[in-house]
Amino acid sequence: MTKHESSAITLSSSDAVKARNEMFNMLGNYPATPEETERSLGLFLRGSLLARILGVQEIYKQIVDLPGIIVDVGTWRGQTAVLCENFRAIYEPLNFNRRILCLDTFEGYKGFGDKDNPTTLHQDGTYGVGGEQYVAFLKRLLELHERSNAMGHNCGKHTVIAGDCCETLPRFFEEHANEVVALAFFDLNCYEPTKDAFERIFRRLVPGGIIAFWQLTRGSAVQAEGRYYADEVIGKLDHTLKRAATYPGLCYLKK
């Protein structure tokens, strides 16, 4: 499994990284019962991670009145999908039609081409999480979140698919021709898969629907989302673009 960039790249000071590591170690040694520890995880949630959660919340609240599924393209470990299931339970607990589709190779980046600039930290295999074994883990985790939420008897709504999204996404839409999209998150970092998935999803995006990008304005070596947006979206598709108030790196397009 290739290490991902967070093991080498950070905007935090060395002192902040040390504090973060110490907090994480304190979680593993928290002097409480398992029941109390499970209820106290907020003690160890650092501000930058909370900012990401609030950014997803900001976007989710804007689709509550819209029909359609949520698509998480490049879901990695599935944290955004889990957050969306929990926001569903909070803001629309009776909406059992709000299904989540998670797409990833689960074996790391795949599909760099001529318009990409892979590096030692961004290459085929980076962000791999174990392939099909992780698919089973994430499916189970999503179902457990459903079961622990209100109306938890209605579970198993969400789908996790492994493979190249250029193949899995069109297959999904062919098999589910009725599905429209209310919200999609993109975190692919490869130009051609980003282009293919965006165009397929945008065609099914309901009016007022949202496509969110985790890497749109990122200044690092791999700039697939920003490059595709500049090449194919600005001036060509009718939309608005904003950034999340708490997490500026999370930008979202509204149809």
Range of the domain at 54: 50-254
pLDDT in tens, 5-50: 555 556 678 888 899 999 999 999 999 999 999 999 999 999 999 9
User: How far, in Å, CA of 107 to CA of 5, rounded?
Assistant: 15
pLDDT in tens, 51-110: 999 999 999 999 999 999 999 999 999 999 999 999 999 999 999 999 999 999 998 777
Q: Structural domain tally of the chain?
A: 1
Amino acid symbol at 184: A
154: CATH: 3.40.50.150
String of DSSP letters for 93-137: TT-TT--EEEEE-SB------TT---BTTBSTTBTB--THHHHHH
- The answer to pTM > 0.85 is yes
**Does residue 204 lie within any of the structural domains?**
yes
**Does residue 196 lie within any of the structural domains?**
yes
Amino acid symbol at 223: Q
**Does residue 240 lie within any of the structural domains?**
yes
User: How far, in Å, CA of 106 to CA of 132, rounded?
Assistant: 7
**Does residue 234 lie within any of the structural domains?**
yes
**Does residue 226 lie within any of the structural domains?**
yes
